Copies of this chain bind each other. A is one copy, B any other.
Amino acid sequence: MSFTAFDPRTGRPGTRTFEDASAREIAGRVAAATATFQETRRYSGRRIGEVLRSIADELTAAGEAIVEVAERETALGRPRLTSEVGRITAQFQLFGALCEEGSYVSAVIDHARPEATPPGPDLRRMLVPLGPVAVFGASNFPLAFSVPGGDTASALAARCPVVFKAHPSHPETSEVCAAVIREGLRRVDAPEAMLAIVHGRGTEVGRALVLEPDIRAVGFTGSLRGGTALYQLAAGRDEPIPVYAEMGSVNPLFVTEAALAGRLEELATGFLGSMTMGSGQFCTKPGLAFVPDGELGLRWAETVAAGARRLDPGYLLNQAIRDAVAAQLERTGHLPEVEILAGGKGTDGPGFRYPTTVLSVDAAAFRQRPELHEEHFGPAATIVRYGALDDLLELARLVPPSLTASLHAEEGEVEALRELVELLEQRAGRLVWNGYPTGVAVTHAMVHGGPYPATTIPLHTSVGSAAINRFLRPVAFQSYPQPLLPEELRDGNPLGIARMVDGEWTLGPIRDRL
Contact = CB atoms under 8 A, between A and B. Distances in A.
A446 B110 CA distance: 9
A231 B241 CA distance: 11
Contact of A444 (B425, B469, B500): B500
A432 B473 contact: no
Given A236-B232, A441-B120, A503-B444, A475 B110 contact: no
B240 A452 contact: yes
Interface of A: 41-42, 83, 86, 108-110, 117-118, 120-121, 123-125, 128, 130-131, 228, 231-232, 235-236, 239-240, 242, 411, 414-415, 417-418, 421-422, 425-426, 428-435, 439, 441, 443-447, 449, 451-453, 456-461, 466, 469-470, 472-481, 483-484, 498, 500, 503, 505
Nearest to A404: B478
B236 A433 contact: no
Query: Which among A429, A447, A484 has the greatest number of chain B C-beta atoms within 10 A?
Result: A484
Contacts of A118: 83, 439, 441
Contacts of A228: 240
A476 B445 contact: yes
A414 B481 CA distance: 8
A388 B131 CA distance: 28
Contacts of A422: 42
A393 B461 CA distance: 37
30 contacts: A42-B422, A108-B444, A110-B446, A118-B439, A120-B443, A121-B435, A123-B441, A125-B466, A128-B426, A130-B458, A228-B240, A231-B235, A231-B240, A242-B459, A414-B484, A418-B484, A421-B484, A429-B474, A429-B475, A430-B477, A432-B479, A433-B478, A433-B480, A433-B481, A435-B478, A446-B476, A447-B474, A459-B472, A459-B474, A461-B474
